[in-house]
Structure 1
């Protein structure tokens, strides 16, 4: 049987509940909804570390953050680096695939390939290598129609502020990412199957959807933020005024403007994905192509008085995940409810392509479950993030999509949410007598995850507060990168 092509579509910072196929009746995502109708919607998918670098390292390697060595983007965490023994594009390249990455990679050094034959980069405002100029930025400067820059809208890369895109729509990075994806499909090696990662830099802020999309959602009634009975701890007026605040209450007008820009960015991405699909249909490429759509993490958008990501809450940690297999690989179920994680992408794609899964991978192939096998691959997802915006938001969590236990080690506090009864996490039941056994059960699951590390996070019976202690650093990071790059 001819090896299937693989298209990996990735968005940046897209929360799980912003697609029609996940039940959102306001947003228009016709192309991704069509993809979902042709494949499987994974209903409870989570990121093991809800920020860009650690999540993308897990996607790249099929490993959890402890084994990639990247536990977040905070103190003690280095950049992604290189030196991984096995990567998804690397294994596919060894198996005869022509591999290409387009858009946001977030590698370091920025021109690292990490197994790809070639990359074309849009790294937003990051210039971490001396003299680095992204391919998108160079293209923008060559093609702009006036005396303006690519950030002249005045909004920061992590801001809650929003406004329409300031330049002609054809210059938007979302359009460029699809332009280059189509160009690759035209010039690829036709004697080999292809692996194309099309990686959008949006809907991550700036929330700068082109005017058509921005105005469309300014005219709609959008979901208001969910604010739990515990969320007053993040109503910090002294912090909310910052243009890149990670917490605090903004005005209703500002919140809804941010949501309009965010929803508009997703609608824009969906239209551009439609362009890519149309080209693939025209060229006869859809029939033998596996397509996966996933995001690295979500965005709180003001939920529980929080912005951005890094949190264990649903808006930040839960992600969209759609898999569409060619018919030659068999029929799949319409929805898969068992918990899944972003490190499952690599083993799933390798098994579907008939390629051995390296022993370094600790994600699970979802292929049996996609085909209707009722055997559960994992009972829960474990996630974590080091301190980033502030020490207190360092977290550990475990969830099966029905219950969620969160531990904040720098505060020494626990939270428990019954996601079946309270899917928006508005009621923390950690202190409820009715949930005492559930609390103990889920705490023990986290203890079982952390005890083998031997770093004092637990004594085997209790979780041990980390207040005043040095940041946790995985030994796997230093062993991989050595002295090539620093912390």
Structure 2
């Protein structure tokens, strides 16, 4: 054999071997279970991102993530207040089933949770940041064991809104520790360390990184972020009344400062995932537990059925091997739908205790679903939904175009969210919408029947679950 032919033969053998190795590596990666990273923020309304068109804020890292993710642009927090969303995320159940229909009560330690299910499938599970599911008082340690609902790695606290030098507890250490700076930064670094450590293990991971921001207090982000936003230049939503405009501009400037910092941190997490080679095999969910009215409709914070309160960001970045196209989706994914969808995406059986919907078939284009979902409020005596401030128990049906709500006295709100995105025109009783109102009332009644919701006064549920009340007959926020 000529020397040149011999070399060509050797090169060919090497090339075939190299291709075979690459194919083996790809095949191995396709069989490898995906990691799961859930990024939860507190009180980040869906409208407040660059990719959603907010003129006040630039979120380049989230915009980049949204461009390669499934974006559920109509996603909602079904009971828009902190603890109910978090309990529904962990259990895949609706609030009247798991019992956390208000803040500062404990999720049953026997609950079948997302962490417990992933543990059984050989995953490492971790939780960093705000918990708000223990009901044992603010800043208290959530003791190792059942109260941590299956999470093995832990760097968190029950709840705090002091974002500078805030308290946390480190795994089994019972002593309080302090995040040295702005906790959004410190928690991000802790998550990155956790992710790096997982690369040396054989197990995939499922981790929740739960940020406390951009929840109030609004003006506590690092000064370099606060300096980016001039209250006088803030463009308000059209549904903020004149009486609140000055306050809302000031608070929004601080709110956006927290968001800008969060965007940088999300970018930092993604950068480190890429550098560690784990990005391509990690499902990333970005969401929030509820929104913030911030002056819209003359109110602040949450619990109301309005868009600024109930609608939340919901991005799913999915590894290429799942063959699911990125892009916007119209379906109304709800809080309890996150757990079953993630389990399905990881080819893990969904427990029978779960009530939420599995959206994998919808993402794959095999099934139409998510045309309507429920919004509800049981507690008309929270800090932001008191009867004295117009708060009320309600049940609402939200479709891709309309929001229809009734309180205990009857029909309350009807908005065409497509033609009236700021919900300025309540169509209840409007002659031209009688048939629509009747249809939505029937749909709401049907959903309540299907879910076993009798729509009782809030105190009936308090009595049923045995939650304590104070001398005024209400449930204190600090319980």
Contact 1:364 1:377 in 2 (8 A): no
TM-score by length of 1: 0.79
Per-residue CA distance 1:67-119 (angstroms, 9 max, x = gap): 1122234xxxx703333431111111110000000011112153321121122
- Tell me the number of residue pairs that the alignment of Structure 1 and Structure 2 aligns: 414
Q: 1:474 Cα deviation (Å)?
A: 7.7
Correspondence for 1:33:
63
Partner of 1:81: 107
CA distance in 2, matches of 1:6, 1:226: 38
Give secondary structure in 1 for the equivalent of 2:126.
strand
Q: 2:178 is matched with which residue?
A: 140
Gaps of 5+ in 1: 144-170, 236-248, 458-465, 480-485
Paired residue for 1:376?
A: 368
- Worse overlay, 63-72 or 311-320: 63-72
Moved more, 108-117 or 87-96: 108-117
TM-fit CA distance, 1:180: 0.9
- How do 1:88-107 and structure 2 match up within 5 A? 88-107=114-133
Could you say if the C-alpha distance between residues 376 and 454 of structure 1 is closer, same or farther in structure 2, counting changes exceeding 3 Å?
A: closer
1:1-40 superposed matches below 5 A: 1-40=31-70
For the 8 Å contact 1:31–1:271, the answer to whether it is kept is yes
Residue 400 of structure 2 is aligned to residue 401 of structure 1: yes
> Quick check: 1:192 aligned with 2:203?
yes
Structure 1 369/270 Cα, relative in aligned 2: closer, same or farther at 3 Å? same
What is the deviation of 1:472? 3.5
* Greater Cα offset, 444-453 or 58-67: 444-453
Against the structure 1 CA distance between its residues 381 and 476, is the aligned structure 2 distance closer, same or farther, given a 3 Å change threshold?
farther
Match of 2:226 in 1: 214
**C-alpha contact (below 8 Å) 1:69/1:474 kept by paired residues:** no
Q: Report 1:150-229 matches (<5 A).
A: 171-188=181-198, 190-207=201-218, 208-218=220-230, 221-227=233-239
Further displaced range: 412-421 or 315-324: 412-421
Q: Which has the higher contact order (CA 8 A, sep 6+)?
A: 1
Deviations 1:179-207 (A, max 9, x none): 11012123336110011111100001111
The separation in 2 between residues aligned to 1:270 and 1:133, in whole angstroms, is: 23
**Structure with larger Rg:** 2
The residue correspondences of 1:293-332 to structure 2 (distance < 5 A) are 293-332=286-325
CA deviation string 1:445-466 (max 9, x = no partner): 2222334677864xxxxxxxx7
1:205-254, Cα deviation, whole Å (9 max, x unpaired): 111222122121216732314328xx8xxx9xxxxxxxxxxxxx44x332
TM-score scaled by structure 2? 0.80
Structure 2 runs not aligned, ≥5 long: 1-30, 137-141, 468-477
The whole-number CA distance in structure 2 between the counterparts of 1:359 and 1:475 is: 27
User: Considering only aligned residues, what root-mean-square deviation do their CA atoms show, in Å?
Assistant: 2.7
- For residue 161 of structure 1, what is the aligned residue in structure 2? none
For residue 122 of structure 1, report the CA deviation from its aligned partner: 4.3
2:57 equivalent to 1:45: no
Indicate which of 461, 470, 479 corresponds to 1:473: 461
Displacement of 1:29 in angstroms is 0.9
Query: Alpha-carbon deviations, 1:165-191, whole Å to 9, x = none?
Result: xxxxxx101101101101212333611
Equivalent residues of 2:132, 2:159 under 8 A apart: no
Maintained 8 Å contact 2:231/2:252: no
